[in-house]
Structure 1
Amino acid sequence: MTVVDGHNTVEDLLRSPALQLRVLAGERGLGRSVSWAHVSELEDPTPWLLGAEVIMTTGIGVPRAAAAQRAYLERLDDAGVAALALSAGLHVPPLRRSFLDTAEERGFPVLEVPLAVPFIAIAQEVAAVVQEDAHQRLGAQLQVFGALRWLASEGLDTAGLFRRLERLSGYEIYLSTPQGRPLLPGVPAPPPSVRLPASADAPPTIPGGFALPVPAPGGPAGFLVAFEREGARPAGLAVVQHIATVAALRVTMVRSERETLRRQGAETLAELLQDVLDPETARRRLALMGLPPDRDVVLLVVRDAVDDAVVQALGEHPHLMLRRHRDLYVLTAAGVVAAEAEASTADSGGDGAARAGAALREIPGIAAGVSRPLPPGSSLRVAQREALWAASRAAEAGRPLVAYGEDRMGRWLPDDVGVLAALVEHVLGDVLRYDAEHGSDLIASVRTWMERDRRVDDAARALHIHPNTLSYRLRRFGALTGRDLSATGDFAEVWLAIRAAAQLGGL
């Protein structure tokens, strides 16, 4: 709790000569604000509290054991209770040292009420102050109701809207997804130390303020956390609830805007892939989608991943996305995605773009290919071939992400499918038919041997066969193809043919 202006703090109650209250522990917390005073003899009244209450008790619900007393006080403090007022001379058990020490540590005021002072006197004192404060709270509520009108009439962005709501409400406002990420642009997520509610039905009170769900179809879109601002007059739970409703409406608006941009982006990307836009129109369209005109872009082809997973991985990075059968095409700024060789930047806490690439690689079963960077507005014909080739290479190698050019040999293969097929038939045709007829693995054996730099023992272990068996397969392959694998020219031709077969999906 924070100190607030006005006459509604624990210290103000202490100053009232009629109440004759005495501080037993937790003097550091006398600046906590008070919203109500309530009698409770329950050992755990927290499910029925809203926060900032003075709990008054004759001591019936206060445990006797030291550990239980400490847990009792911690529950009240965690629920946002302003102070505990114990009636002297009735049923209060001896207060343990751990109880009093915890109150001091937490700055949680523990007060003693003389037997001659009825609890109703404290309640009336608090009620009178609350009545004086009601006008200010009502005014804050009415102004919060006008929040959406501000959006329309003043053109406030999300950050400006919530800064104004903070000033009106007396709270610091945070918004987060259920996973703790920022829910709306311009509004920070709460500090990592804040424990978000486990469900939408959790009590709204947390130490120092409130945590409320932001409603959305199908379940909460996230949570609003409101902490009392030092020196302000917090307007209470009702106002925070209204702010959560404003947040829900803003989330709906932002999602609608994003969906509109996604559809427009898909249309633009389809036209770019068809090469029907002139460069100037293309650059203007990309700028409207948030892609800077002075920064190169890359084309990404993603296989075996759902659209939403890719969108979540890219986060706030602008991008265009188009689904074509099993392939998802993504156009985004260069540097947002990185090949595995660059992953250490993200893993060691690199920038947001590197982290987006890391998140993309972590999608289960993903196989993605990235083109070389190119200026925005350029033709995507070559980039499309590069990204498709890299995606095939990623799927073939079982890697999540491959950038075009990583395979220094394969990138020199022609793009013409007919030329590739002719190369495969000319070099590997007889072996492919032999493998099909006999159920053998000659091509797989040669490919594994080549990928392991012609180390027979390593390749044999990978194939789970004896080295002598692999040596026989290599000789048999040479006899069928008429190629000597010890000759540089024949070796290169065979390797290119195997790469071509893989690119055609024949392996």
Structure 2
Amino acid sequence: MSNLTVGDLIAMRPLVCTSLAGEAGHSNTVVWAHVCELPEPWNWIGIDELLLTTGMCIPSAAHDQRMLIKRLADRGSAGIAIGDDLQAPPLHQDMFAEADRLGFPIISVRHSTPFSAIGRTVAVAAHSDQVSRIARLSKLYETTRCTPWGEESLLDHLSRELGVELHVVDITVPSEVLERRSRLAGAAISRISEAVGGRWERLPARLPVVRDGKLIATGFALSTHRKCLLVAEGPGEVDIDAFVLLHAQSLVAVEVERVTRVRERSDEVEALILQQIVDGTLALDAAMLRLEQTGLAEQNWAVLSFDAKLLTSVRLIVGDRSVPKLSAVIGEEGYLLIADGNFEIVTASLRDHVPAIGVSARTSAIARIGDCLRQARWALHAARADGSGFSEYSSAAPFFLPRTLAEAHIAARAILGELIDYDRDNQSHLIETLEAYLTLDRSWSDTSSRLLIHRQTLAYRLKKIEFLTGRTTRSSVDITAFWNALGALRISRG
């Protein structure tokens, strides 16, 4: 550690530095001198670092100048050195009083003294400390490289080595990305995401995360494809040298990218397995072997259905929790097959991020997974229809919709049987026309545009539908029957 202090810099006559306030802090150690002219400079200054400024980063209001000193002192900065070349606004007595109260040095630097002279002085004094830093980094890389996989995660190792609890948080999901023996609480993860807000592209070097007026963590942006922060947990400022921290961030970023790529490849393989199980092109023995490889064999399974465009987010959330799964987009929906034992943790994690989820009945038979997908899709339609956002097949719409696939077939035939047979025998499109017409709120122009037919053709088809079914598209009772029957038909056809 460097033994150079703020008082030492003032005592060096060639530097021509003068004390303006905060003399009680002249014993503060200076390990580095950093020039910053950005607003909120405390975000760019480390512990025991001296802020050098021509004054451009100093606000003009007395209250703001006092808060600048307080923030720098809270950050653990060594002091502030202001050039006297008239770039700074007038310095208020409130600023000096706050510096005296906190013992935070404010010094003036003669315009004839280049900031580089102060920087070189500090660098020379800290030279021996730089050697020890490099040695520490070498140890960090070497022990990280030699740590066997599975015995200790990278974050556990770095946390132990640096003396601070580290986590990686994806702020878009939000979710904790890498394995840790101890994980962050859900409320803390949410607060971290809220602290970032819409500032991802302009985050400070250190992002303080505050809850109820107290610092709970500090975030550092990672250069990864996922929007991730390296989070140091704890109520105090993170006392990690910036040089060491930068290398720790690099190590963690590489690990996040590696884990992400491995998961993406696994997702592609798992999607193919689920597709083959559903369409019957994968033999039962081969399917069981694949389920064993993914950690899903010899268990009861549940299938979750959701909007297909959310598949990537669902995979990230479930993958971050290391839950074995199969997932894919099949038709118009996304599907997730999980062990029943993980049902609660998965649904609890997804419900804040997925607007509507349908859940199948449980099964342990590979041959019934296809039925489970249809059941989950049916439940998803029920969740969307009743606005609940979550529905299980066993309880989905128990009063108005059939509860089994056999009942769905019967319900569809009872209302639409004549149309189904007519379409089959005449290669016509009456079912498609009825569904489009009702889905588009009986708009003639929108239905004609979607089906690419003339309005007169649409009129002919609607009259044919009414004639064959004995129902009208103007009666609320008949429209309800048509709508429910179309839903039952979609489910029964899978």
Under TM normalisation by the shorter chain, which class is it? Answer: 0.5 to 0.7
For the pair 1:403 / 2:392, whether they are aligned, the reply is: yes
Give the 3 Å change call, closer, same or farther, for CA 62–264 of structure 1 in structure 2.
Answer: closer
Matched residue, 1:182:
176
Matched residue, 1:133:
129
Give the 3 Å change call, closer, same or farther, for CA 62–287 of structure 1 in structure 2.
Answer: same
Contact 1:59–1:93 (Cα < 8 Å) also in 2:
yes
Give the 3 Å change call, closer, same or farther, for CA 332–99 of structure 1 in structure 2.
Answer: same
The TM-score with structure 1 as length reference comes to 0.60
Matched residue, 1:424:
415
The TM-score with structure 2 as length reference comes to 0.62
Matched residue, 1:478:
none
Contact 1:300–1:331 (Cα < 8 Å) also in 2:
yes
For the pair 1:259 / 2:264, whether they are aligned, the reply is: yes
**1:155 aligned to which of 142, 148, 153:** 148
SS in 1 for 2:306: strand
Shift of 1:321: 0.9
Deviation by residue 1:425-456 (Cα, 9 ceiling, x = unmatched): 57999x984378999436642575999xxxxx
Matched residue, 1:244:
249
Query: Aligned equivalents of 1:56 and 1:413: distance in 2?
Result: 74
SS in 1 for 2:304: strand
Give the 3 Å change call, closer, same or farther, for CA 504–249 of structure 1 in structure 2.
Answer: closer
Unaligned regions of 5+ residues in structure 1, if any? 339-351, 452-496
Matched residue, 1:445:
477
Contact 2:380–2:390 (Cα < 8 Å) also in 1:
yes
Give the 3 Å change call, closer, same or farther, for CA 140–399 of structure 1 in structure 2.
Answer: same
For the pair 1:370 / 2:325, whether they are aligned, the reply is: no
Matched residue, 1:345:
none
**1:169-318, aligned counterparts within 5 Å?**
173-179=166-172, 181-186=175-180, 198-200=199-201, 202=203, 204=205, 212-216=220-224, 221-225=227-231, 234-237=240-243, 239-274=244-279, 285-286=290-291, 288-291=293-296, 296-303=300-307, 305-312=309-316, 314=318, 316-317=320-321, 318=324
Query: Aligned equivalents of 2:279 and 2:176: distance in 1?
Result: 36
1:372 maps to amino acid:
A
Contact 1:297–1:331 (Cα < 8 Å) also in 2:
yes
SS in 1 for 2:224: coil
1:325 maps to amino acid:
G
1:330 maps to amino acid:
L
Query: Aligned equivalents of 2:157 and 2:413: distance in 1?
Result: 69
Q: Which moved more, 1:267-276 or 1:186-195?
A: 186-195
Deviation by residue 1:448-496 (Cα, 9 ceiling, x = unmatched): 5999xxxxxxxxxxxxxxxxxxxxxxxxxxxxxxxxxxxxxxxxxxxxx
1:175 maps to amino acid:
V
SS in 2 for 1:300: strand
**1:332 aligned to which of 328, 335, 338:** 338
Query: Aligned equivalents of 2:401 and 2:37: distance in 1?
Result: 78
Give the 3 Å change call, closer, same or farther, for CA 121–176 of structure 1 in structure 2.
Answer: same
Deviation by residue 1:253-307 (Cα, 9 ceiling, x = unmatched): 11121123213322332344356878887666445435585x6321123355442
Query: Aligned equivalents of 1:82 and 1:91: distance in 2?
Result: 22
Query: Aligned equivalents of 2:36 and 2:473: distance in 1?
Result: 80
For the pair 1:164 / 2:157, whether they are aligned, the reply is: yes
Shift of 1:166: 4.1
Shift of 1:165: 3.1
Unaligned regions of 5+ residues in structure 2, if any? 181-187, 209-215, 421-462
2:466 maps to amino acid:
Y
SS in 1 for 2:168: strand
Give the 3 Å change call, closer, same or farther, for CA 224–417 of structure 1 in structure 2.
Answer: closer
Matched residue, 1:389:
378
Query: Aligned equivalents of 1:118 and 1:258: distance in 2?
Result: 52
Contact 2:80–2:106 (Cα < 8 Å) also in 1:
yes
Contact 1:103–1:110 (Cα < 8 Å) also in 2:
yes
Matched residue, 2:452:
none
Contact 2:44–2:206 (Cα < 8 Å) also in 1:
no
**1:81 aligned to which of 72, 77, 80:** 77
Contact 2:82–2:106 (Cα < 8 Å) also in 1:
yes
Query: Aligned equivalents of 1:13 and 1:336: distance in 2?
Result: 61
Matched residue, 1:485:
none
Give the 3 Å change call, closer, same or farther, for CA 381–176 of structure 1 in structure 2.
Answer: closer
2:301 maps to amino acid:
V
Matched residue, 2:351:
358
Contact 2:408–2:491 (Cα < 8 Å) also in 1:
yes
Matched residue, 1:348:
none
Contact 1:212–1:241 (Cα < 8 Å) also in 2:
no
Query: Aligned equivalents of 1:280 and 1:243: distance in 2?
Result: 46
Shift of 1:158: 9.9
Query: Aligned equivalents of 2:176 and 2:100: distance in 1?
Result: 35
Contact 2:50–2:79 (Cα < 8 Å) also in 1:
yes
Contact 2:375–2:491 (Cα < 8 Å) also in 1:
no
Q: How many pairs are equivalent?
A: 428
Contact 2:51–2:79 (Cα < 8 Å) also in 1:
yes
Give the 3 Å change call, closer, same or farther, for CA 172–31 of structure 1 in structure 2.
Answer: farther
Query: Aligned equivalents of 2:103 and 2:296: distance in 1?
Result: 51
1:213 maps to amino acid:
A
Query: Aligned equivalents of 1:309 and 1:40: distance in 2?
Result: 39
**1:459-474, aligned counterparts within 5 Å?**
none
Matched residue, 2:466:
434
Backbone CA RMSD of aligned residues: 5.8
Deviation by residue 1:128-179 (Cα, 9 ceiling, x = unmatched): 43112011111133344447633xxx32359632333345556654433244
Contact 1:299–1:330 (Cα < 8 Å) also in 2:
yes
Contact 1:280–1:377 (Cα < 8 Å) also in 2:
no
2:199 maps to amino acid:
A
Shift of 1:370: 1.6
For the pair 1:323 / 2:329, whether they are aligned, the reply is: yes
1:441 maps to amino acid:
T
Query: Aligned equivalents of 1:356 and 1:199: distance in 2?
Result: 23
Shift of 1:331: 0.5
Query: Aligned equivalents of 1:120 and 1:385: distance in 2?
Result: 70
Query: Aligned equivalents of 1:284 and 1:104: distance in 2?
Result: 72
Give the 3 Å change call, closer, same or farther, for CA 287–123 of structure 1 in structure 2.
Answer: same
SS in 2 for 1:410: coil
